[in-house]
């Protein structure tokens, strides 16, 4: 049902005549826009009316800001955009069946590799930052294509190059690179997703024939959700428990989860190979261009050399060798090699958030509803509520841009150096940022849709597909709740090491100082400081974020110790689970803020730096305000300071609104990438392009 508001320049005139629910709402709105004398205090009145009065705003040089934001791989991204822009028949239509979408997605991938000459696979190892830049650009064409590409190169290809050895790379690299060998990554089973060590598929060594025999022992062990399996995959990296025959009465010994290359379809006929049963996982909430399937194995024989043997090998005599001493260490090393997928998802999620924010902000500037009596209507972004929905989100998008760029750089460094400390750091950072950013983006997509009213609901304006396609980013490559626990676990390990005199990993260095800081009481004098100079000082902001993390860390460590005496470590962990998740999020926010502050400092252009500083302040103030109860509870912030933080947050929202157009333009995504008529850069064209979709 549609409920339209009267489109009048004088809504108060309507109120007298009409007594419907709609007009009562207008009445309330009208009284808000025309506050009674003395009804608002001075600052609030100024804030409420300021949008109409047009206050001085920061001068932003979009080109300079854009130059600073652009990664060094913008050229290759532009290559992706140009290629698909020049091939309209490869663009995904709004209405498309599952089967057609899958075929189109495969054609898009082949077009990219064979026609556009963009071959991402080699970058997975040699230049991951370039690979992630391509992934982000491809995802903006169609998120299904981004995921299909990720399955082929990062998951299937990545498992071969990261878990295999030279013989595997020599044999498979070319075929994966050219997509002649489309493949899958088959880890998840019907009964086990997050708990990978619980998987039940077995690979038993047969010394007589020098082969492994892959078996699905029960229906719970059917490989499920496997991308590329339903239609296109010819191979799969299958994760299974390695079973070795023993000479004792046990018969076989379980060596833990290992990865094996298993051909699943005939190269010529595309028919499933003997013993391999394949079914389609069917229509999904989103990402229907990806053919997710289920695989069951019945005594499928593969040569011994198909074991991806970087971390553990089986000799001709059935003897097991590994440089790593235990099943747990080998498992950790195996999963550790797969963090690239998480890095890619965190990075791509920011790309999705940028598109959504661009559309919502541009439309909010264009769209006008109501206005002061006898005056023109105002843009919906002039409403404080709309600023409150979108401006902290815009600031967060910038914050995440810098944080995930940092993650990509660290990941690339780790791939080069294999430095052990960096490996741990990148593992926890990728888990935390993936979880935090994808959850944030998922929520923001709904907010953006709602912020664009009815037109946000038109499929052509993209929020529906962005939301449906992106939603699963929260679950695959590690469920977000599970990943945050890994971050919390890592923080606790660091905490323990600190008290045992060890060193802290780079990202966690701040804990060394702030733990001491936490153990002292909050300073009652600074708790009352409320001046803008103080609140906008990066030192205050970082201290506040880190104080919160340190406090959460200290208190959860004490609680865990207490509960483990009665509940055991598993029970204690569960008893403190929400506390642990808050700790992980708090830590990730501290890292994000630190990276944002760094990025502001490093920005060479003065005007861009001023704009970034404003965004950074809004990010920090908004986060502190959202958690103000925590700060108040421990008197880190006195009541007057809490009020000042609130006021400043609203003021910053308003200030950012004034530069919102330039700031979203600086993301530098052309209309043929954002592809939403209501979010076009030239606002004057938006309505006409939009109405053309309906045939006008």
Ligand X SMILES: Cc1cc2nc3c(=O)[nH]c(=O)nc-3n(C[C@H](O)[C@H](O)[C@H](O)COP(=O)(O)OP(=O)(O)OC[C@H]3O[C@@H](n4cnc5c(N)ncnc54)[C@H](O)[C@@H]3O)c2cc1C
- The catalytic site residues sit at 477
Compute the least distance from the CB of residue 673 to ligand X, in Å: 24
Between CA 179 and CA 98 the distance in angstroms is 21
Burial of 209 (0-12, 13-18, 19+ CB in 10 A): exposed
- Closer to ligand X at the Cβ: 186 or 614? 186
Compute the least distance from the CB of residue 236 to ligand X, in Å: 9
- Closer to ligand X at the Cβ: 61 or 481? 481
- Closer to ligand X at the Cβ: 226 or 637? 226
CA distances (Å), origin 92, targets 105, 139, 462:
8, 12, 12
- Name the helix (H) or strand (E) containing 263: strand 252-263
**Contacts of residue 234, Cβ cutoff 8 Å, sequence gap at least 6:** 181, 182, 183, 263, 264, 265, 267, 270
* Contact residues: ligand X, CB under 6 A: 151, 185-188, 193-194, 225-227, 284, 287, 292, 472, 475-476, 479, 481-482
- Closer to ligand X at the Cβ: 488 or 553? 488
Instruction: Name which of 47, 34, 20 is nearest 373 in CA terms.
Output: 34
Compute the least distance from the CB of residue 344 to ligand X, in Å: 13
| Nearest residue to ligand X on Cβ basis | 193
Contacts by 209-213, CB closer than 8 A, 24 or more apart: 209/301, 210/303, 210/304, 210/316, 211/301, 211/302, 211/303, 211/304, 212/242, 212/260, 212/301, 212/302, 212/303, 212/304, 212/306, 212/307, 213/299, 213/300, 213/301
Between CA 695 and CA 460 the distance in angstroms is 13
Compute the least distance from the CB of residue 310 to ligand X, in Å: 19
Give the tokens for residue 403.
């944080």
- Closer to ligand X at the Cβ: 282 or 639? 282
Q: Are 65 and 662 in contact, with CB atoms under 8 Å apart?
A: yes
Task: Answer positive or negative: Cα dihedral of 227, 109, 121, 344.
Answer: negative
- Helix/strand/coil percent split, the chain, to 5: 65, 10, 30
- Closer to ligand X at the Cβ: 290 or 452? 290
Task: Answer positive or negative: Cα dihedral of 533, 535, 536, 542.
Answer: positive
Compute the least distance from the CB of residue 281 to ligand X, in Å: 8
Compute the least distance from the CB of residue 28 to ligand X, in Å: 39
The single residue listed with the structure tokens 């200290």 is 554
- Closer to ligand X at the Cβ: 66 or 468? 468
- Closer to ligand X at the Cβ: 440 or 667? 440
CA distances (Å), origin 403, targets 84, 435, 588, 636:
29, 13, 10, 27
Coil/strand/helix, residue 241: strand
- Cα dihedral 94→100→106→108 (10° resolution): -30
Compute the least distance from the CB of residue 226 to ligand X, in Å: 5
Compute the least distance from the CB of residue 580 to ligand X, in Å: 10
Instruction: Name which of 639, 540, 545 is nearest 588 in CA terms.
Output: 545
Compute the least distance from the CB of residue 98 to ligand X, in Å: 13
- Closer to ligand X at the Cβ: 128 or 150? 150
Between CA 370 and CA 365 the distance in angstroms is 14
The single residue listed with the structure tokens 């509940």 is 567
- Closer to ligand X at the Cβ: 476 or 596? 476
Look up residue 150 and give its DSSP letter.
I
CA distances (Å), origin 113, targets 142, 177, 180, 409:
16, 8, 11, 25
Compute the least distance from the CB of residue 445 to ligand X, in Å: 17
Annotate 306-319 with three-state secondary structure: HECCCCCEECCCCC
Q: Are 142 and 105 in contact, with CB atoms under 8 Å apart?
A: yes
Coil/strand/helix, residue 690: helix
- Closer to ligand X at the Cβ: 472 or 637? 472
* Phi, psi of 257, deg, nearest 5: -70, 130
Compute the least distance from the CB of residue 195 to ligand X, in Å: 7
Between CA 655 and CA 658 the distance in angstroms is 5
């Amino acid at each position: 049902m549609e409920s339209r508001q009267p489109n009048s320049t004088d809504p108060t005139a309507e109120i007298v005549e009409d007594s419907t629910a709609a007009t009562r709402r207008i009445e309330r709105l009208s009284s808000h826009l025309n506050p009674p004398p003395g009804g608002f205090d001075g600052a609030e009145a100024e804030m409420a009316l300021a949008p109409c009065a047009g206050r001085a705003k920061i001068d932003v040089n979009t080109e300079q800001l854009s130059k600073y934001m652009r990664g060094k791989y913008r050229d290759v991204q532009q290559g992706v955009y140009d290629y698909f822009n020049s091939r309209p028949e490869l663009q995904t239509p709004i209405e498309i069946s599952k089967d057609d979408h899958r075929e189109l997605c495969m054609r898009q991938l082949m077009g990219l590799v064979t026609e556009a000459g963009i071959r991402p696979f080699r970058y997975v190892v040699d230049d991951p930052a370039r690979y992630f830049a391509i992934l982000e650009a491809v995802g903006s064409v169609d998120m299904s294509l981004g995921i299909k590409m990720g399955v082929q190169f990062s998951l299937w290809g990545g498992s071969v190059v990261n878990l295999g050895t030279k013989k595997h790379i020599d044999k498979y690299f070319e075929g994966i690179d050219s997509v002649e060998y489309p493949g899958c990554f088959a880890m998840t089973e019907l009964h086990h997703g997050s708990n990978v060590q619980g998987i039940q598929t077995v690979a038993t060594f047969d010394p007589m024939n020098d082969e492994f025999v892959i078996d699905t022992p029960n229906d719970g062990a059917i490989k499920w959700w496997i991308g590329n399996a339903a239609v296109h995959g010819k191979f799969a990296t299958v994760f299974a428990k390695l079973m070795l025959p023993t000479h004792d009465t046990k018969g076989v010994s379980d060596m833990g989860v290992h990865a094996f290359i298993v051909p699943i379809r005939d190269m010529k006929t595309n028919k499933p190979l003997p013993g391999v049963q394949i079914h389609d996982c069917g229509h999904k909430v989103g990402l229907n261009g990806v053919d997710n399937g289920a695989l069951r194995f019945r005594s499928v024989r593969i040569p011994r050399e198909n074991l991806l043997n970087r971390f553990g090998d089986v000799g001709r005599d059935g003897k097991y060798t590994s440089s790593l001493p235990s099943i747990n260490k080998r498992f950790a090393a195996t999963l550790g090699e797969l963090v690239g997928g998480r890095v890619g998802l965190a990075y791509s999620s920011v790309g999705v958030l940028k598109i959504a924010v661009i559309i919502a902000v541009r439309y909010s500037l264009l769209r006008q509803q109501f206005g002061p009596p006898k005056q023109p209507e105002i843009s919906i972004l002039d409403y404080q509520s709309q600023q409150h929905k979108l401006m902290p989100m815009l600031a967060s998008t910038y914050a995440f841009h810098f944080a995930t760029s940092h993650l990509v750089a660290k990941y690339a460094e780790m791939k080069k150096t294999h430095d052990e400390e960096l490996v741990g750091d990148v593992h926890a950072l990728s888990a935390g940022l993936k979880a935090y950013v994808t959850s944030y983006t998922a929520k923001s997509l709904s907010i953006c849709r709602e912020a664009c009213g009815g037109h946000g609901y038109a499929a052509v304006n993209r929020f529906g597909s962005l939301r449906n396609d992106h939603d699963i980013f929260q679950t695959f490559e590690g469920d977000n709740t599970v990943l945050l626990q890994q971050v919390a676990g890592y923080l606790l390990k660091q905490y323990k090491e600190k008290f045992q005199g060890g060193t802290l990993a780079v990202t966690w260095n701040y804990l060394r100082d702030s733990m001491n800081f936490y153990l002292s009481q909050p300073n009652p004098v600074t708790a009352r400081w409320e001046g803008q100079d103080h609140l906008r000082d990066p030192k205050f902001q970082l201290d506040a974020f880190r104080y919160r993390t340190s406090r959460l860390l200290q208190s959860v460590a004490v609680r865990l110790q207490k509960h483990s005496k009665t509940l055991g470590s598993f029970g204690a962990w569960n008893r403190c689970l929400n506390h642990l998740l808050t700790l992980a999020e708090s830590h990730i926010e501290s890292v994000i803020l630190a990276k944002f502050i760094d990025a502001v400092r490093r920005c060479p252009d003065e005007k861009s730096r001023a704009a970034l500083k404003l965004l950074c302040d809004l990010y920090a103030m908004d986060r502190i305000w959202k958690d103000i109860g925590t700060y108040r509870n421990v008197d880190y912030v006195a009541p007057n300071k809490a009020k000042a933080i609130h006021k400043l947050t609203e003021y910053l929202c308003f200030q950012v609104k004034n530069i919102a157009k330039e700031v979203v333009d600086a993301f530098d995504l052309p209309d043929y990438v954002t592809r939403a008529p209501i979010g076009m850069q030239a606002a004057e064209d938006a309505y006409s392009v939009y109405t053309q979709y309906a045939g006008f």
